Structure 1
Amino acid sequence: MATLIPAIKGKLGNTTFYEATMRVSDLLSSVTPPSDLDEWANMGLEEKMQREPDMNRIRDKLVPYLANNGDRFFGSIVVLIWQGSVDFEPVTEFATKIPAAYKGAAPKMGFVSIDGGKLVVLDGQHRYLALRDIRDGKHVGDGANNIVNDEVCVILIEHESDMKTRRIFNTVNRYAKVTSRGDNIITSEDDGAAIVARRMLSADQPLADRAVNGKPVSLVNWKSNTLTKRSTQLTTLSTVYDSVELILDANGIKLDPATRPTDNEIETHQEMVKTVWEPILEGMPAFGGALADPSTIPGLREDTAPTSLLFKPASQLALIDALLRTGTSEQGKLKIKEAVVRAAKIPTWSMDADMWRGIIIKQNGTIDAGRDAKRRMADLLVYLIASDRLSPALKFGIWKRFNIARGHDVDEWLESDGEDGLVEDLPTPVEGDTFTKEDALANNA
């Protein structure tokens, strides 16, 4: 029995296509993913034409989004008419009364009749498999039971040759533009961290635009994840987002980016983030000067400036991480304002300062924005800020990581009781005594 689908006929280059809508239940019953076709695998087409489905992405992102979001939406699924006979019958062939205004468009509207063959997902396999998992009861959500009645847009293309089909698949995937991280933060209405990050830029919030000489000045670059040397912006939206996750995590809160928190929860999370960013911006003199006159930021960010690391996104996150950790009972039990006052006493944040070498500054003098580097800098900052409140064991661990990062064989030196190899003392903290290599030997005894 032939499959009949209402559609609009179109042509792009040499390719005729048919655009239609299908109920999800009909799509799942009549269309097949390539991974389910034995003949495709035998012909080698699956390996050449279709990516292996990412089941983690389907299970963790697409399925929860579709099952839980009443505003769910996605673009067209491209379906290949595989080895079937295709016939298009426009409405002009059976409709006797078509108003003159519609006669120009009517020949493109009609019904596609597909006899034999199979309908195969050419692009949109992950969306298809997510819909199928929901239909099969693999996820429970507010919209899971009704999703089979949804309608999705489908573009039907007839298989003419293996070469042409592969070329279409390759083109659709190669030139599809993946949204940037910044775009996702700006547009997401489900990711609670993104919502809070955006609100940090609102009026009366710590990172709101400032008026300088009567003109609004943005403190946050939301178009890019990096800052140029000439940028007069303090940080990036991506950094604000990461700081939100750090701050909420420190308060025992883990957000599911696919599930929107309640309005009350968002307000609570926003206040948590504000109580960290606000004292940092108000308590660090370098930031105070920058906010008063953002035109000075490029100079403050210069590699040789004594404030340079404070204006680099990676080290900003390390600072926030350290300040949060010094508030815990194990690492200082300092209130955020007191911790900031101490951080302001650190003598230099220059990228040229020796104490940052190997920690967050690479051997070539550039900043290391990797996760491990940010963690190393946060460790060192915890010591610099709260050395007088840390246990010897905790300082010993920081000392080991500091020396290892700077290329020293710590284990060999300890095993020889300080006779073989070289190690360094930790830098002088703002409060308390310096943790020396002699202290390390004593702690290791």
Structure 2
Amino acid sequence: MIHLACLRGNIGYWTYYSTVIKIKDLVTDNRVITVSESEELYTQNINRILQREINQSRIKSLKKYIKENDERFFSSLIVAVHKGSPKWSDIDLFERIEIDGSEINQEQVNFLGSKFGILSLNGDEEIFALDGQHRLKGLRKAYEEDETIEDLEIPVIFVIHNHNQVEKTRRLFTVLNKYAEKPKGAELIILDEDDVAAINTRRLVIEHPILSKPNALSSSKSGAIPTNDNKSFTTLVTLYSINKKLYSQNASYYTVRPADDIIESLYQKSVAFWNTLFEVFPELINYTDEVENLTINEKPILRNDNSGGSLLLRPVGQELIANAYTKFLANELPEFKRKLRLIDFNLSGNIWKYIFWNEKMLGKEAKLKNNLLLFLLGKHTDVNIHREMTRVYNLNNQEYQNHIEQI
């Protein structure tokens, strides 16, 4: 039997008990299980579908986070308990309580007295997670591999499940999972303190002399710049995506915060790329300063829905250049910069038409786009590049004239 110090509360139909449980007490003998491991809410065939919804890579990331991050923290698991004999015992408060010399009035004492208590579980209960199934599985895996974490305290909220009111618990399970909105896109980049790509994205927009300018960054929460925004240079999501290209690490690398010296060294990689781009195209600096009528190689720098404008002002174009940049060694960068300057990045021009632009932005042919820029820069000598371009032109009922040549 375990005894848990709790706060008791009520929201509508549900009385809940908020507590902490040590990892060993939570996972040993599967004291708490997932909904799909129970047959209380759903039948076996539904449970099989729920089981397939469990994301193993997410569990692996959570396991690593629990084991390796000293600043680990979780929001509460929400679990339903039924069967057995869970027992609530009130803890009586003294009638007279003073805080900093001020006495709490009797009404407040009575309220507090109904909230503190002990929840006792004898082990015969069935407890299943309504919210936090991935966290639960991550905790199991972490404890299997490292029992030294056994005393870590995990916040848990209990609700009492009534077998005769199973539809209410099903509805609660649905609400918790359907309406819980996870941070994503720009919001997640702003919040994440473990992902080094996110950490350095925030630093770029705070410290970099150009990317910190008011017009450098769109307020977009996605990677794209809104069509009605003709001033912003890039987006937070684009900076983040480029960081990940520059750092070239697997997904699990971004779940644990690296040492400060590693963060600094990766930040310098980010700075080096952006400094290179602004060195090659100083006109982009002027763009962030709202200088009008700018041109590069006698072509106007703009972004619009009629001609597409310059690929340099499109997040996809910036990511394209970042990808190419990673293919060049340090001693090759002078040649990279020289050739990059000579490329026509006009979307409706002869190079990018039908690949990036055809009266609107085109989202396919990612591999060909990357190969084409590398071909132009002399880094990719694929003899099939003209064949691929012919294919794309044919799809648009146009004839390719082998007009694209290396710089």
Per the normalisation by structure 1, the TM-score is: 0.76
Comparing 42-51 with 171-180, which one deviates more in the overlay?
42-51
Cα deviation, residue 11, structure 1 = 1.0
Cα deviation, residue 32, structure 1 = 2.7
2:351–2:404 contact (8 Å) kept in structure 1 = no
1:86–1:158 contact (8 Å) kept in structure 2 = no
Residue 103 of structure 1 corresponds to: 110
Residue 225 of structure 2 corresponds to: 227
d(CA) in 1 for partners of 2:7, 2:51: 26
The reply on whether 1:118 has 2:126 as its aligned counterpart is: yes
Taking only aligned residues, the RMSD between alpha carbons, in angstroms, comes to 3.3
Residue 414 of structure 1 corresponds to: none
Q: 2:352 aligns with which of 356, 359, 365?
A: 356
Q: What SS does the aligned partner of 1:5 have?
A: strand
Q: What SS does the aligned partner of 1:135 have?
A: helix
Cα deviation, residue 315, structure 1 = 1.7
Note closer, same or farther for the CA distance 1:239–1:112 as it changes in structure 2 (3 Å cut).
same
The reply on whether 1:89 has 2:89 as its aligned counterpart is: yes
Residue 290 of structure 1 corresponds to: 287
d(CA) in 1 for partners of 2:66, 2:274: 35
d(CA) in 1 for partners of 2:9, 2:331: 67
Q: 2:370 aligns with which of 378, 381, 389?
A: 378
Q: What SS does the aligned partner of 1:155 have?
A: strand
Note closer, same or farther for the CA distance 1:165–1:194 as it changes in structure 2 (3 Å cut).
same
d(CA) in 2 for partners of 1:295, 1:201: 23
d(CA) in 2 for partners of 1:208, 1:26: 49
Comparing 50-59 with 105-114, which one deviates more in the overlay?
50-59
Residue 152 of structure 1 corresponds to: 154
Q: 2:274 aligns with which of 268, 273, 277?
A: 277
Corresponding letter in the other structure for 2:138: A
CA deviations 1:114-146 (Å, max 9, x no partner) are 564322222212111111112112xxxxxx444
CA deviations 1:329-384 (Å, max 9, x no partner) are xxxx984344334333334513x3353233123x5x321345x43x3223222233
Corresponding letter in the other structure for 1:69: N
Corresponding letter in the other structure for 1:136: E
d(CA) in 2 for partners of 1:220, 1:291: 9
1:127-166 superposed matches below 5 A? 127-137=135-145, 144-160=146-162, 161-166=165-170
d(CA) in 1 for partners of 2:312, 2:200: 22
1:9–1:19 contact (8 Å) kept in structure 2 = yes
Cα deviation, residue 168, structure 1 = 0.1
Cα deviation, residue 277, structure 1 = 1.3
Residue 19 of structure 1 corresponds to: 18
CA deviations 1:272-296 (Å, max 9, x no partner) are 2222211211322541330332677
d(CA) in 1 for partners of 2:239, 2:172: 40
Q: What SS does the aligned partner of 2:183 have?
A: coil
1:255-270 superposed matches below 5 A? 256-270=253-267
d(CA) in 2 for partners of 1:10, 1:190: 33
2:220–2:226 contact (8 Å) kept in structure 1 = no
Corresponding letter in the other structure for 2:212: D
1:32-51 superposed matches below 5 A? 32-37=33-38, 42=43, 46=47
Cα deviation, residue 191, structure 1 = 1.8
1:18–1:155 contact (8 Å) kept in structure 2 = yes
d(CA) in 2 for partners of 1:272, 1:96: 61
Note closer, same or farther for the CA distance 1:208–1:289 as it changes in structure 2 (3 Å cut).
closer
Residue 406 of structure 1 corresponds to: 393
Q: What SS does the aligned partner of 1:11 have?
A: strand
CA deviations 1:308-345 (Å, max 9, x no partner) are 321111122112223443x36xxxx9843443343333
CA deviations 1:255-281 (Å, max 9, x no partner) are 810232332222222222222211211
Note closer, same or farther for the CA distance 1:46–1:315 as it changes in structure 2 (3 Å cut).
same
d(CA) in 2 for partners of 1:167, 1:293: 53
Q: 1:426 aligns with which of 393, 402, 405?
A: 402
Note closer, same or farther for the CA distance 1:296–1:324 as it changes in structure 2 (3 Å cut).
farther
1:185–1:195 contact (8 Å) kept in structure 2 = yes
Residue 55 of structure 1 corresponds to: 56
2:245–2:323 contact (8 Å) kept in structure 1 = yes
Corresponding letter in the other structure for 2:377: I
Q: 2:173 aligns with which of 169, 185, 188?
A: 169
d(CA) in 1 for partners of 2:377, 2:335: 10
Unaligned runs of 5+ in 1: 138-143, 211-216, 410-420, 432-445
Cα deviation, residue 97, structure 1 = 5.4
d(CA) in 2 for partners of 1:4, 1:77: 18
1:315–1:377 contact (8 Å) kept in structure 2 = no
Comparing 160-169 with 191-200, which one deviates more in the overlay?
191-200
Unaligned runs of 5+ in 2: 98-102, 295-299
1:20–1:154 contact (8 Å) kept in structure 2 = yes
Cα deviation, residue 180, structure 1 = 1.1
CA deviations 1:202-226 (Å, max 9, x no partner) are 33x254323xxxxxx2412365122
2:79–2:157 contact (8 Å) kept in structure 1 = yes
